[in-house]
Amino acid sequence: MAKLLKGKKIGAYFNLVAAVFAIVALIGYAFAGQDSYGFVPMVVILLALGVISALIFTWHDFYGFGPVVTMAFFAAGFGVFLNSRFMYYSHQYYKIASDPISAAMIVTTIGMIGMLLFELISAFMSWEEKR
Amino acid sequence: MKLKKISRGFAAFFVLIYIAMLALTSLAFEAQADVNQMLGTASYKIVDTGDGTEDTQYFKKKTRSIDAFMDQKLALVEEIVGEGIVLLKNDGALPLASNAKVTTLGKASTALVYGGSSGNAAIGNPGNSEINWTLKRGLENAGLQVNPSVWAFYESQGLSYTAEPSAEPDPSGIPTEDEEKYKDAAIVVFSRVTGEGGDAAEGYYELTETELALVKHAEEISENVIVVINSPSAVAIHPLVEDESVRAILQVGGLGARGTKALGSVLTGAVNPSGKLTDIYAADSRSSAAYQMAGTKEYANAAEILAAADAALGIGAGGTKYTLFSEGIYVGYKYYETRYEDSVMKQGNADGKAGAFLSSDGWNYADEVDYSFGYGLSYTSFTQELQDVSVEDGVITATVKVTNTGNLPGKEVVELYVQSPYTEYDRQNGVEKSAIQLVTFEKTGLLEPGAEETLTLKMDAYNIASYDAKAAKTWILEDGTYYFAVGNGAHEALNNILSAKGKTSTDGMTANGDASLTKTWENPAFTTLSNPTFTENGFTTENGLFHNNTGAEITNRLGDADPNTLLGDHTVTYLTRSDWDGSWSSGIQALTANKTMIDHITFASLYEKGAPVGDMYHYGVEGSMSAIMAMGKSYDDPVWDELLDQMIPEEMIATVGKNFGAIDPILAISFPGTSDNDGVGSGPATNYSSEYDQGSTVFEGIARYSTIDPRMYPSESVQAATFNQQLSYRTGEMMSEDCYYAGLTSLWGPGLNLHRHPYAGRNFEYYSEDSMMTYITGAQITAGLQSNGVIAGPKHFCFNDQETDRYGFAVYVNEQATRENSLRGFEGAVAVAKAKNIMTSLNRIGPDWVGESDELQNGILREEWGFDGYTITDNALEPYMCGRSIAYGNDKLMLLPGNSRSDELNKTALLNDVNLFSAVREACHRILYTFVNSKAMNGISSSIEVVPVNPWWKTALIDADIIFGCLAALCIVGMLTGENKLKKEGK
């Protein structure tokens, strides 16, 4: 890890925090997805690709595309998640959900928001000494 | 460097926005009909190829402007609440002087319950005091002056109307500086509220210690303590009934927009209270027979059921659970009053200890009940004279003269009850008889002191028959003596009958009855009503409510809902009046589902796929038929086949398996589509159309009607408490008019489930614990709603009498209870008022989900009751509410955006399964038959074509997708440019 972070600037650290949030979201979703609103494998695939992308670009930010590519995966994962969970939030808002608000869904939601927020912040910062 | 960093940041930002926009676009396009409904747009336009002179407004609004309509609507809301407030106790405290200075107490005084707490039936415009008047405004409007410091104290608490009773502020903190000035009366308001998705916790309907302390505090402020119970469900108020210092008690459910205005009028006597209780007020809220089985129990072999479940379909969140209606027919007052009669008659172990909550030595009515069903006081007094009762040609006719013997004008309700003979035949065959049962009711006009009015009450004798599931397997009217009686509530009527039988208070009656208010009818012979013919039939506003003839045989259909059929005799015990003590429920038993039940619970063995469609049916046929050509045609007219032949499979699927609250336009037959939504109780759950956005003259400070939510009506229990059939019909008419301004074709309501006990979460959406009250009021509202081209969709068919585990839990019940209680309200709406739409429920009947119950949807609903409309599921959130349900009589799935049944409802599957294809085609037939004869066809003529267009939001979304995509690309280019620049600079 020390080698990976050698010569890195604050943006890369924010990117890694985003990746950690994505992992939190993945773990949360593994539990939350067992409720009656269902589990969509594509969410996991896209978030996992986002995490891999975050790690690769942390190692080396090829052409400065790190945040763009990583954000594309995270945003797509979030989009699929939201599409499949639209009803969950709607039902909770109207208090008509068939499943109660679960800790897993709170964790997943926080993970998703944190992931997007930190990745966005990281995009406005330098990731490497050379750039 | 700077350019690259900024470009990179914005590139990531725009990629995020771009993908979010794509997701939103996909969601919106999938649910375009729902989006159109929300935004008041359309995905089609009408092209008239004729000369445009044809009047295509088949149904027209009745009001000249939305302001005029709103004035009428608010006046109606006020009228309903004015007639729906029930005066339970009055020791001279009411009415108040019109300029009295009063102190209002209780957290609910500033946070009233206007409707339910959640779901589409909740009140609209929450927190908008211009629309939903506060208590203060209502009282001041009536001339009362309200203690400002105490009002400010409660306001400063910032409590929501949903706050738990435990949040009631400690009375010691209430400011005292204005008490002396505002002591003409202390008005204490207690509320209870529940909503969709859950039932109340045990004890919720008991008064808390703090609430009782507040009453004591009120007694220190004023000699006139008035308690207002603001709750759609009955609250246990026994301590207040006993407390002589509490001089008046009023009960009212969810108040609706202008309910406090009516409350002020009632408190000051401008309106004389005439409401009656729709639920019995028991001394302990947990003492009813039904409550002993509240909630659900898990099957003993739940793990086995889960293992057998089809992973794709699931079984629903509550699929391994069930409840048992062990009370049988004895819901609400039918339990308390029947047990009371038996205790007086010394039969059936009625005074045993089982079921005794507040009785000290064996069950005793006086200790267990405070106010009976149908009870309510007035500021004046009335006498009733039961002049005649006859049963001829299958119709009961009663004539009652009402005289105002008091000093104030007022309205009075006549409640007609019956007691059927409980015979040896009943005991042998397990037929239960309630000792008292509501037959029908009517209300007088405003009677001046000394004035009188003679009312004629009519009802089908079929409605006093009993369902014999064991021997006759149909409805029976036994030979013997039938007692008809009137009274201020079911208990007084029963006392009148007991008096006619020679009983007095020395026999254990709570009071002596009046035998002159009872008439008897001797039925000479045992009669079965397996194929009844109704001489007067159908609904008319002039003549009343009568069953339509269908010619169908009525026989057992729901035996599989009874564990004694499924698992063997004596598996469960239902409450019987032949042994109250021995049959009293001690809680839900853990049933073990057998193989057949598991197959049904898991949908394993129900559906048989058919052969490919081939040339058995036509579809996508080029033709010139349009939907309007079928208007007014009978259901069997050949025109329907021609229309259905023109539909392509995608259109068929969209009609039955897409959208939440709308049906897409069907271009092949120029059908314009529909806009449908909830409308139970409080009103249409959508905003008024922006088409009416001229400045409102009705609401101060509200310029645009499209910002106003039409949900302003009081809860259904208030409507029922009026005991005014004509008022209910007018409410239906008003809601119909609402639909014109809100742009709706159909309204999913009224709610016709029962208040099995106070704790059910959606009691505010239902009328009463009584099935005949539900039958009558539901039929009147439905008839009014459908009087002008709007479609009514009574719900939730059926047994949705609790919210716990509602997605998939099973209801086990015997057939007599289903027929006489749970189904009765729906029977009124369908067989009498001819409702055109029915919303099915989320639960199961026995092991089968209601939407897959052929016996319920085809057998009872369509054959026995003659239903010729279409059914729609409740929110088909869970996969068990599956596409194949259409083969069992379901017609449409209610699907939210992002939720589809494309696994079963897709073109390939449809064309490879003729059973499903024919079912979907028939469902389309029913849906079209319903809407082609509704206001959906306004603006459509035979010279008109429906052609697709892009509404503005589609264009806007596509434009936004392009713009954000370009911006993301631009930033990426900026990044690359920056990168090149860095390279050139050698950095």
Q: Which of B877, B896, B902 to mutate to test the interface with A (most CBs of A within 10 A)?
A: B877
Question: Residue B210 in contact with residue B166, Cβ under 8 Å?
Answer: yes
Q: How far is A122 from chain B (nearest CA, A)?
A: 8
- Which of B277, B302, B472, B447 minimizes the C-alpha distance to B375? B277
Interface touch A82/B196, C-beta < 8 Å = no
Provide, as residue numbers in chain A, all residues whose Cβ is less than 8 Å from the Cβ of B314. 36
Residue B978 sits at the vertex; the CA angle it makes with B973 and B982, to the nearest 5 degrees, is: 150
DSSP code, position B688:
P
- Gyration radius of chain A's alpha carbons: 16
Query: Which residues of chain A are within 8 Å of residue B893 when distances are taken between CB atoms?
Result: none
Hey, is the C-beta of A127 within 8 angstroms of any chain B C-beta? Answer: no
> For residue range B919-972, what is the model confidence (pLDDT) as tens digits?
999 999 999 999 999 999 998 988 877 777 888 999 999 999 999 998 888 888
Give the per-residue pLDDT at B224: 97
Q: How far is C-alpha B858 from the chain's CA centre?
A: 22
Give the closest of B807, B877, B978 to A87, CB-based: B877
Nearest to B210 by CA among B81, B94, B105: B105
With 90 as the cut, is the pLDDT of residue B516 above it? Answer: yes
Answer yes or no: is pLDDT of B576 > 90: yes
- Model confidence at B871: pLDDT above 80: yes
- Going from N- to C-terminal start, the domains of chain B cover 2-43+949-982, 85-273, 290-306+325-580, 595-684+713-940
The Cα B514–Cα B504 span in angstroms is 10
At a CB cut-off of 8 Å and minimum separation 6, what does B423 contact? B478, B480
Contacts of A119 in chain B (CB under 8 A): 12
Phi (first) and psi of residue B261, to 5 degrees = -65, -45
Mean pLDDT, residues B787-811 = 96
- A67 closest CB neighbour out of B8, B22, B27: B8
Q: What is the pLDDT of residue A96?
A: 67
Residue B301 near residue B319 (C-beta atoms within 8 A): no
Q: How many angstroms separate the CA of residue A38 from the nearest CA in chain B?
A: 9
CB distance from B306 to chain A under 8 Å? no
Q: What pLDDT sits at residue B85?
A: 98
Q: Which residue in A36, A72, A82 is closest to B877 by CB distance? A: A36
Q: Nearest by CB to B807, which of A36, A67, A86?
A: A36
Q: How far apart are CA A18 and CA A123, in angstroms?
A: 11
Kindly state the helix (H) or strand (E) to which residue B415 belongs, with its residue range.
strand B413-419
Q: Chain B contact for A83, CB < 8 A? A: yes
| ipTM entry | 0.78
B809 to chain A: nearest residue by CA? A98
User: What is the structure's pLDDT at A47?
Assistant: 95
Is the pLDDT assigned to residue B589 strictly greater than 80?
no
Q: Quick one: pLDDT at residue A53?
A: 93
pLDDT tens digits along B372-394: 999 999 999 999 999 999 999 99
Q: Indicate yes or no: CB of A87 within 8 angstroms of CB of B898.
A: yes
- Using CB atoms and an 8 Å cut-off, which of residues 89-128 of chain B contact chain A? 117-120
Q: Which of residues 702-741 of B touch A (CB under 8 A)?
A: none
Length of chain B: 987
User: Is the CB of A87 less than 8 angstroms away from the CB of B195?
Assistant: no
Taking the Cβ of residue B445 and every Cβ of chain A, the question of whether any pair is shorter than 8 Å is answered with no
Distance CA B61, CA B938 (A): 11
Query: Which of B5, B8, B987 shows the shortest C-beta gap to A68?
Result: B8
Maximal C-alpha separation, chain A? 54
Q: What are phi and psi of B977, to 5 degrees?
A: -60, -45
CA A87 vs CA A108, B216, B962: distances in Å: 16, 47, 27
Chain B, residues 892-951, CB within 8 A of chain A, namely: 896-899
Task: Tell which CATH architecture fits domain B290-306+325-580.
Answer: Sandwich (2.60)
Q: What is the mean pLDDT of residues B45-54?
A: 77
φ and ψ at residue A29, rounded to 5 degrees: -70, -30
At A22 the pLDDT is: 96
Compare all CA atoms of chain A with the CA of B805 and give the residue at the minimum distance: A98
**Cα dihedral B267, B269, B271, B273 in deg (nearest 10):** 70
B47 pLDDT more than 90: no
Across the range B268-273, mean pLDDT stands at: 98
Q: b/e per residue, B614-639, with b = 16+ CB within 10 A?
A: eeeeebeeeeebbbbbbeeeeeeeeb
Cα-Cα-Cα-Cα torsion B686, B690, B695, B700, nearest 10 degrees, comes to 20
Q: What is the mean pLDDT of residues B590-616?
A: 91
Residue B135 has pLDDT above 70, yes or no: yes
Is residue A130 very low, low, confident or very high in pLDDT (cuts 50, 70, 90)?
Answer: low
Put simply, the chain B residues between 791 and 830 with a CB less than 8 A from any chain A CB are 806-807
Q: Which of A87, A91, A123 sits opposite B12 (nearest CB)?
A: A123
CA dihedral in degrees (B94, B98, B99, B104; nearest 10)? 50
**What gap in Å lies between CA B707 and CA B710, rounded to an integer?**
10
- pLDDT (0 to 100) of residue A1: 63
Provide CATH code, domain B85-273. Answer: 3.40.50.1700
pLDDT in tens, B418-452: 999 999 999 999 999 999 999 999 999 999 999 99
User: A91 vs B877: CB contact, 8 Å cut-off?
Assistant: yes
pLDDT at B37 over 90: no
Closest residue on chain A to B315 (Cα): A36
Kindly determine whether residue B23 and residue A64, on different chains, have CB atoms separated by under 8 Å. Answer: no
What is residue B987's predicted lDDT score, i.e. its pLDDT?
A: 53
pLDDT at residue B3, as a whole number = 62
Torsion of CA B136, B139, B141, B144, to 10 degrees: -110
Backbone angles phi, psi at B667, to 5 degrees: -65, -30
What residues contact residue B872 under an 8 Å CB cut-off, 6+ apart? B748, B793, B837, B838, B839, B840, B890, B891, B892, B893, B894
Is the predicted pLDDT of residue B608 greater than 90, yes or no? no
Nearest to A36 among B8, B878, B982 (CB): B878
Question: Can you give the pLDDT at residue B120?
Answer: 83
* CA B39/CA B687 separation, integer angstroms: 9
**Predicted pLDDT of residue B1:** 56
Inter-chain residue contact B120 with A94, CB threshold 8 Å:
yes
Contacts of B145 (CB under 8 A, 6+ apart): B99, B100, B101, B102, B182
Nearest residue to B333 (alpha-carbon basis) of B253, B465, B424, B436: B436
Query: Contact B486/B500 with Cβ under 8 angstroms?
Result: no
Residue B39 reports pLDDT greater than 90: no
Average pLDDT, chain B: 94
Cα separation, B540 vs B783, whole angstroms: 9
B4, B19, B119: residue with CB nearest A64: B4
Q: Where does residue B815 rank: exposed (0-12), middle (13-18), buried (19+ CB within 10 A)? A: buried
pLDDT of residue B197: 86
CATH superfamily of B595-684+713-940: Glycoside hydrolase, family 3, N-terminal domain (3.20.20.300)
What whole-number percentage of chain B has pLDDT above 70? 99
Could you please report the per-residue DSSP string of B727-783?
HHHHHHHHHHHHHHHHT-SEEE--B----SSTT-TTGGGB--S-HHHHHHHHHHHHH
**pLDDT tens digit sequence for B61-76:** 999 999 999 999 999 9
B635: pLDDT strictly greater than 70: yes
Burial zone of B813 (CB within 10 Å; 0-12 exposed, 13-18 middle, 19+ buried)? buried
Confidence check: pLDDT of B982 > 70? no
Residue B7, pLDDT above cutoff 90: no
**How close A46 comes to chain B (CA, Å)?**
13
Per-window interface: A 6-65 vs B, CB < 8 A: 35-38, 63-65
Burial (Cβ within 10 Å: 0-12, 13-18, ≥19) of residue B12: buried
Q: How many other CB atoms sit within 10 Å of the CB of residue B127?
A: 8
Q: Cα(B28)–Cα(B751) distance, rounded to whole angstroms? A: 30
Query: Does the pLDDT at position B402 exceed 90?
Result: yes
* A129 touching chain B per CB within 8 A: no
pLDDT band of B710, cuts 50, 70, 90: very high
pLDDT digits (tens, 9 = 90+) for B452-477: 999 999 999 999 999 999 999 999 99
Report the chain A residue with the minimal C-alpha distance to residue B762.
A96
Span B353-366, mean pLDDT?
94
Element (H, E) at B233: none
pTM over 0.95: no
CB pairs below 8 Å between A and B: how many?
A: 116
Label residue B986 by pLDDT band (50, 70, 90).
low
Q: pLDDT of B202-234, one tens digit each?
A: 999 999 999 999 999 999 999 999 999 999 999
Q: Are B416 and B772 in contact (CB under 8 A)?
A: no
When pLDDT is averaged across residues B568-574 and rounded to a whole number, the result is: 93
pLDDT for residue B396: 96
**Region B843-872 average pLDDT:** 97
Which range, of B638-647, B667-676, B976-985, averages the lowest pLDDT? B976-985
The pLDDT of residue B592 is above 70:
yes
| Residue B12 to residue A96, Cβ atoms within 8 A | no
Distance CA A111, CA A28 (A): 8
In this predicted model, what pLDDT tens digit does every residue of B650-685 receive, in sequence order?
999 999 998 888 898 998 999 999 999 998 788 999
Average pLDDT over residues B298-310: 94
Reported as a pLDDT band with limits 50, 70 and 90, residue A6 is confident
**Residues 838 through 877 of chain B touching chain A, CB cutoff 8 Å:** 875, 877
